[in-house]
Amino acid sequence: MNHIVDKKITEFAASGRREESKPLSVYLIVAAMLVYSLLLYGKWEEQLGTAAGLLVAVSTYFFAMYIYYSIARLAYQRYTHSLWGGVIAAVVVAYLLSGASDIWIVLIGWSMLLLAGVLSGRLIRTGYNQGRVYVIGAATVAVFFTLQSLPIWSEFMKTAPQLGEALVEKSEQFLLGLGYSSEMIQKNLNQSRQAFDIMVRLFPAATILATLLQFSIGYLSFTFWVSRSNRSADRITPFDSWKVPFGLAPLLIILILIRILGGELLRMIADNALAVLAVYYCVAGLALVEYYLRKWCLSRLTKTVFYLLLFLTQLAGFFVTALVGFVDSFADWRKVHAREVT
């Protein structure tokens, strides 16, 4: 009697029973995948106008969060046939709407959603730490989104100087109309040019962070669903226990060295990567701050005033909070790593 074969047959039969007795939520998720492709590739601005196109674009951005959650949930519940069927159908819809010229963008986009969602669902099911699973999923999203966006970034970098000069000319005319002196106008224009140059330089990081926010909300929604539906699963990690893994510190050091020693292209890549990491370290720093505010039992009013003052510090507060989050990644003041090990 072959126990391994019997086990495989039993697992296959159980999988078949799950596929045959799918709840309504599974069909709704598959339908949501088709709707997402319809919204994303439907060229609504050309058909309905700029205002309607903008509304659809905003709706699509938030809808992607649900797609990440849905794919992770199907992977967690092992509805493999429904998952692949829904993704293939969604890719077909996207191809029919966008045409063969954009098939590469369609495939990369849906591969990003599928792989990040499946990894999240399967790894959480096998008992992996929530933080590690998030890092794996976020890295997957960042890599695929970079591959998808390279042509867009390149085109934006080419057209940005002309756009910047046009904005500067309009600003100059506006300031002249207000009666500013030539020295004040020149000072304001120089500051505007510097700010615009920084925005252009960090444009890839801004778009990556926007996409990572979609994945983050979807992932947190999925882990919350798991913690509610499965009592044996790990509870969702509270915000005041969030931290950046110390394993990212070597990457941070390498990026800083590239920023100092590399050429212009390498420095731009390092700047964008450092900007993304800085946001994560800032969030970890805020989690540490929240931990101590709760530990000291401060009132909500006091906490609100503190966060308001921190917000008013703008860049200075951002960098200080990011630095605190970085130091805590190896200092582990809250003993998060010790709790994970035990």
Averages of pLDDT over runs of 10 residues in the chain (342 residues) are: 45 48 85 93 80 88 96 94 94 89 90 96 91 94 94 87 80 75 79 84 94 96 88 74 88 92 91 95 94 89 90 90 92 71 42
- Per-residue pLDDT at 271: 94
310 close to 317: Cβ distance less than 8 angstroms: yes
Q: Tell me phi and psi for residue 26, to 5 degrees.
A: -65, -45
69 close to 222: Cβ distance less than 8 angstroms: yes
- Per-residue pLDDT at 3: 46
230 three-state secondary structure: coil
Q: What is the pLDDT of residues 254-301, one digit of tens each?
A: 999 999 998 888 999 999 999 999 999 999 999 999 999 988 888 889
236 close to 227: Cβ distance less than 8 angstroms: yes
Q: What is the pLDDT of residues 1-28, one digit of tens each?
A: 444 444 444 444 444 445 556 788 899 9
- Every domain of the chain and the residues it spans: 1-152+204-237, 239-342
Separation of alpha carbons 208 and 266, rounded Å: 18
- Per-residue pLDDT at 10: 46
- Per-residue pLDDT at 158: 86
Query: What residue type is 135 in one-letter code?
Result: V
Which of 262, 254, 256, 246 is closest to 340 using CA atoms?
246
Q: Tell me phi and psi for residue 277, to 5 degrees.
A: -65, -35
Separation of alpha carbons 67 and 113, rounded Å: 7
- Per-residue pLDDT at 232: 61
Q: Which residues contact 224 (CB under 8 A, 6 or more apart)?
A: 236
Separation of alpha carbons 2 and 260, rounded Å: 61
Q: Which two tokens stand for residue 152?
A: 């867009």
- Per-residue pLDDT at 65: 96
